[in-house]
Structure 1
Amino acid sequence: MSAEAAIAIRHVSKHYRRGHQDIPVLVDIDFDIAAGDFLALMGPSGSGKSTLLNLIAGIDRPSSGSILVNGVDIARLSEAELADWRASHIGFIFQFYNLMPVLTALENVELPLMLTRLGRRERREHAQLALEMVGLADRVEHYPNELSGGQQQRVAIARALVTDPELVVADEPTGDLDRKSAGEILDLLDRLNGELGKTIVMVTHDARAAERAHAIRHLEKGELSALQINPRATPVATPG
């Protein structure tokens, strides 16, 4: 793995069993993602892009191959080790926010910190700071149904950031938003990448969203295209 690579994916394949048949989803995927890069994964529905994102985030496991994130082969971790690793190293942003409706914005952001050794006061301070970072300092006591879609996604981003992860993975983060709200979320991702140096991997159908990334890779029937560098972004040198 290159010294600059945050993620090294080596000959990864993924299939699911349906009756007596193996259904391939990813086929011999092999590439690197540089530390501090912003990569967009694109492709038609069923191409395997969300599966690849889940493998990178340690939510799923490959059928074969290895996934090294900052030198750790997460495919070899036990379930308990993988859960601890995700809690410390990954921030996940979902298309439909996945907020708990009975919790306030502050309480939703605080949830990942419940797995840490921080006390209640420290958890609250970290959650408040994360909400300030996404421009929601005045919405901490609001419930999800009291927030717009864009505000709910900002809460979800704050929740992803509250543990200060090195890697942020986003699955269609603008897919349920109007154009204005989507632009605001993409601006926020730009800031997280450019100002905080977060490595971001984003799955998207939206060409306008993909244009914000340093580079784009397309998946088609489980196979990965060559890297496309975005000339309008400021790229990090991407190995592989």
Structure 2
Amino acid sequence: MSDALVSLRNIVKTYRRGQQIVPVLAGVSFDIEAGAFLALMGPSGSGKSTLLNLIAGIDRPDSGQLIVAGEEIGNLDEADLADWRARNVGFIFQFYNLMPVLSALENVELPLLLKDMPRRERTERARLALEMVGLADRADHAPSELSGGQQQRVAIARALITDPTLIVADEPTGDLDRESANDILRLMQRLNDEIGKTIIMVTHDSRAAGHAHAIMHLEKGELSGREDVRA
């Protein structure tokens, strides 16, 4: 489709386990339009996290065409791929991946350290990102001084700081209680609805997936169905 931000064609991925070749993705093809909020669901071992890692440029397919944000990323060398990730992808992980010795503000600033940017500008942008996720008053707190939900909000602010084309989230509510999880999902939904961020989220939780526009189901490395959730 003309407005596809992500386009996959016959993506195949295998891993080697000793002498055994283990198939993970078997010819997956689909498009994701700009501004979508897509949930990837499937049983353990279905290939959903592998698929997310391929789209984010963390891993490479064995074969097939993978175009994200206008770039066929499977053809990039490691240096160009790292640069592409830094410009285009914001990451949200299940366990936050915050640096414990840094404050919330300093954690959010981290992706900007790779850019030629004055310190004052980095700090201002980090404060604005924390304000966007409702944590402006926690900027100087260490991760250990924050709840799990607050830590995940810091991680979301960090994902937003470079204004990425795409946000990928791997089980972003998997380590949270239900109330905190709902808060995070509403925040992600707002980022999608109000500022148009394209989000791809892996989740095992059907209630979490219900916040997306659509759910893509994977089964044994193949797409087994798609359902629209929100208009």
TM over 0.5: yes
> 2:57 maps to what in 1?
58
Quote the offset at 1:213 in angstroms: 0.6
> 1:174 maps to what in 2?
173
Instruction: Give the Cα–Cα distance (whole angstroms) in 2 for the partners of residues 20 and 170 of structure 1.
Output: 32
63-72 vs 100-109, which moves further: 63-72
Instruction: Give the Cα–Cα distance (whole angstroms) in 1 for the partners of residues 148 and 197 of structure 2.
Output: 24
> What does the per-residue CA deviation read over 1:50-104, in whole Å, with 9 as the maximum and x for residues that have no partner?
0100000001111111210122101111100011111111001000000000110
> What runs of 5+ residues in structure 2 fail to find an aligned partner?
none
15-24 vs 139-148, which moves further: 15-24
> 2:197 maps to what in 1?
198
> 2:101 maps to what in 1?
102
| Backbone CA RMSD of aligned residues | 0.7
Equivalences for residues 152-231 of structure 1 within 5 A = 152-230=151-229
> Counterpart of 1:219 in 2: which secondary structure?
strand
Quote the offset at 1:19 in angstroms: 2.4
Quote the offset at 1:174 in angstroms: 0.5
The percentage of counterpart residues that share the same residue type is 70
Quote the offset at 1:4 in angstroms: 0.9
Instruction: Give the Cα–Cα distance (whole angstroms) in 2 for the partners of residues 41 and 152 of structure 1.
Output: 23
Instruction: Give the Cα–Cα distance (whole angstroms) in 1 for the partners of residues 189 and 47 of structure 2.
Output: 25
Quote the offset at 1:161 in angstroms: 0.2
> Counterpart of 2:225 in 1: which secondary structure?
coil
> 1:81 maps to what in 2?
80
Do 2:218 and 2:225's aligned partners in 1 also have CA atoms closer than 8 Å? no
Instruction: Give the Cα–Cα distance (whole angstroms) in 2 for the partners of residues 206 and 179 of structure 1.
Output: 11
> 2:141 maps to what in 1?
142
Instruction: Give the Cα–Cα distance (whole angstroms) in 1 for the partners of residues 105 and 197 of structure 2.
Output: 22
Quote the offset at 1:21 in angstroms: 2.0
Q: Under a length normalisation based on structure 2, what TM-score does the superposition of the two structures give? A: 0.98
Do 2:69 and 2:88's aligned partners in 1 also have CA atoms closer than 8 Å? no
Q: Under a length normalisation based on structure 1, what TM-score does the superposition of the two structures give? A: 0.95
> 2:47 maps to what in 1?
48
Quote the offset at 1:16 in angstroms: 0.7
Quote the offset at 1:45 in angstroms: 1.0
Q: Is residue 32 of structure 2 the alignment partner of residue 33 of structure 1?
A: yes
* Amino acid across the alignment from 2:199: I
> 1:90 maps to what in 2?
89
* Amino acid across the alignment from 1:14: K
Instruction: Give the Cα–Cα distance (whole angstroms) in 2 for the partners of residues 210 and 169 of structure 1.
Output: 14
Instruction: Give the Cα–Cα distance (whole angstroms) in 2 for the partners of residues 219 and 6 of structure 1.
Output: 20
Number of aligned pairs?
231
